[in-house]
Amino acid sequence: MKRVLLETLVAAHVNTQPMVLIRCLTSARQFVIDKNDIYGDTDDVPAELLQLGRDALNRDGTVTVDIAADRYLVQTLSPPPRLIIVGAVHIAQQLIPMARIAGYTIQLIDPRAAFATPGRFPGVEVISEWPQDVMAGLSIDTRVAVVTLSHDPKIDEPALRIALESDAFYIGALGSRKNHANRLKRLSEYGFDDIALARIAGPIGLPLGGRSPAEIAVSILAQIIQFRYCDETG
């Protein structure tokens, strides 16, 4: 691999940015794609191949494609998916280890220092700040899921507003149907239309019928996984 490509891939890894490496299997040609640019042997890249590379930024794995007389290996090199949890509650204590097993890195936000403690959440990146003060700097992209669990509108709704303005692939909010309807009404006053508000899964989680914190956590993680792959499964 050419030095410039290797350096580009290393920098992307350090900055936790997804990249797509495309190698021609019928020649020595290779290049990488990020969300903004293309690097490497970029002369006369077929438009179809470039679009496949762009699309591959939003998924994992490797595929082989035939375009014109050439065969290409399209490999997505991505950081782990990330789960931002707002609300250091009992459900979060159950959800975090499950999400870690599924391959997610975790960031937990709660301004209530009595809840968001290392003792309750060992080994977790705990951010004891208000969501509106920190979430804009967390680089919420298409590999990020956001869930709000605090049950406090002063904490959850600022987080939801930021999530709705981001590229998060999943946004979920804990609460009953009645509470969620009232929440949507309040969020609409900030200019979010019905299409935007429909991005929020509420009540959160797949309807599995569970009631305990662990059971609710299972339903939330299951729905996150479903949303992550829904474009591929239809």
Binning pLDDT at 50, 70 and 90, where does residue 124 land? very high
For residue 141, the 8-state DSSP code is: -
Q: Give the CA distances from residue 31 to residues 36, 100, 134, 196, in Å, rounded to whole numbers and listed in that order.
A: 14, 32, 35, 35
Number of other residues whose CB lies within 10 A of the CB of residue 97: 14
- pLDDT of 112 > 90? The answer is yes
Kindly report the CA angle at 201 between 200 and 206, in degrees rounded to 5?
Answer: 170
Instruction: Tell which residue, 226, 207, 227, has the closest CA to residue 215.
Output: 207
The answer to whether 74 and 64 have CB atoms below 8 angstroms apart is yes
Residue-range domain boundaries for the chain: 3-77, 82-233
Verdict on whether the full-model pTM lies above 0.75: yes
Give the number of C-alpha atoms closer than 13 A to the C-alpha of residue 115, restricted to the C-beta side: 18
Task: Mark out the alpha helices in 146-205 (DSSP H runs).
Answer: 153-164, 177-188, 194-197
Q: Regarding predicted confidence, which is higher, 34 or 188?
A: 188
Looking at domain 82-233, which CATH architecture does it have?
Answer: 3-Layer(aba) Sandwich (3.40)
Looking at every residue in the chain, the average pLDDT score rounds to 90
Question: CA–CA separation, 86 vs 130, rounded Å?
Answer: 9
